[in-house]
Amino acid sequence: MNQNQWLPGEIFNEHNINASLTGFYLFFCQPLRHCSRNAVGVQTASDASINGDREEHDLCNWDELKFSLIPTDYMYVMKCSSGEGAFSQGHLTRYGNVELSPSSGVLNYGQGLLEGLKAYRGDDNRIRLFRPEQNALRMQMGAERMCMPSPTAEQFVGSIKQTALANKRWVPPPGKGSLYIRPLLLGTGAILGVAPSPEYTFLAYASPVGNYFTGSMHFSVEDKVYRAIPGGTGGIKSITNYSPIYKAVTQAKAKGFTDVIFLDAATGKNIEEATACNIFVAKGNVISTPPIAGTILPGITRKTIIEVASWLGYQIEERAIPLEELMNADEAFCTGTAIAIKPVGSVTYQGQRVEYKTGEGTLSETLFRTLTGIQTGRIEDTMGWIVEID
């Protein structure tokens, strides 16, 4: 059997999350994987129900944790019909498949948003969320753009707290990773014409994760495919933003690069961001990053690093950055929930490769230690960014 092939599907049943819509038969194309009891990724929600009393350190090998899906115990669900205008009281349910109509808005027209945030276990064993209200506000902004109702900030943060608390045994030990929480806002109502969905589902699930990338990042510059266009959805976390750039990223990775830096579609001269992270350029005491102007995602880590770097005495500039300026920088680094802060080791454009300072003593290392120190409780939070859930 090939590594990737179509596997027989199943009829969704009452044990799945029911979106009050007709189920349909699916075939899944996925790699076949073999797991052993102590390998990362083997424990599922059904395993957890059998071994409910297992200690956190027995769940998997935390030292080998990657940024890949490990099903946990619970997810959070709440719904909204278009006529209601507000989301109903949500609830926790066992992690499992979601039933959708084949004519749902998200499947046919991509009416959906995603978010991403993490729960961290500190040295004191307390579990902390980092600025979850910012994710709530960003989802509301995206929902307005996509003609969708959105949970209130209170509902959003409450759902994240409950999801993290219900899966707290999956929060890795200090220094071993974090619990990544993925909220989704989906048009799940049945619709045939091009129009907003008549029903919406908010869902949040979680997975323990390690580093998204290891070491520094090595970029190629993409000058033929654009991630976002003026007036498009580049400034929100629409689910439609990602798959159109898979080809460019896959081709870059096949050549040994970590990721791709995309240029602006208007001029093709200025850097914007990578696949799923914002970029910063440092020269002397000045740190520059592209401005939020509709084509760049307003990253929460980006926002935090601008504030932290300002505290540390750096001059911060949000402005258009020509590619040539990146190629002549002292240092470059990327920010995002998944990667936190990662140094850029090199950038290659049209055969020209430029390398940057990385490692101890660099700006990115200082900012990384400061950010993660606040997130895990090693550095006092004086800004009210931390939400403790237990």
pLDDT (0 to 100) of residue 213: 85
pLDDT at 25 over 80: no
User: In whole angstroms, how far apart are CA 53 and each of 56, 58, 167, 176, 186?
Assistant: 9, 10, 13, 21, 34
Per residue in 318-356, pLDDT (tens digit) is: 999 999 999 999 999 999 999 999 999 999 999 999 999
Burial class (CB within 10 angstroms; exposed 0-12, middle 13-18, buried 19+) of 226:
buried
Task: Look at the chain and count its residues.
Answer: 390
pLDDT (0 to 100) of residue 36: 30
237 carries an active-site annotation: yes
- Check: pTM over 0.75? Answer yes or no: yes
- Beta bridge partners, 304, equal none
CA distance 47 to 26: 24
Question: Is residue 292 helix, strand or coil?
Answer: coil
Per residue in 41-67, pLDDT (tens digit) is: 333 344 444 344 345 556 889 999 999
Question: Is residue 247 helix, strand or coil?
Answer: helix
pLDDT (0 to 100) of residue 41: 32
pLDDT at 374 over 90: yes
* CB-based burial, 185-221: b 16+ in 10 Å, e otherwise: bbbbbbbeeeebbebbbbbbbbbbbbebeeebbbbbb
Contact 193, 106 (CB under 8 A): no
CA distance 281 to 328: 9
CA distance 12 to 22: 9
Other CB atoms within a 10 A radius of the CB of residue 237 amount to 23
Task: Give me the DSSP letters along 131-154.
Answer: -HHHHHHHHHHHHHHTT-----HH
| Residue tagged active-site, from 237, 269, 283, 303 | 237
Let me know the angle formed at the C-alpha of 338 by 77 and 308, rounded to the nearest 5 degrees.
115
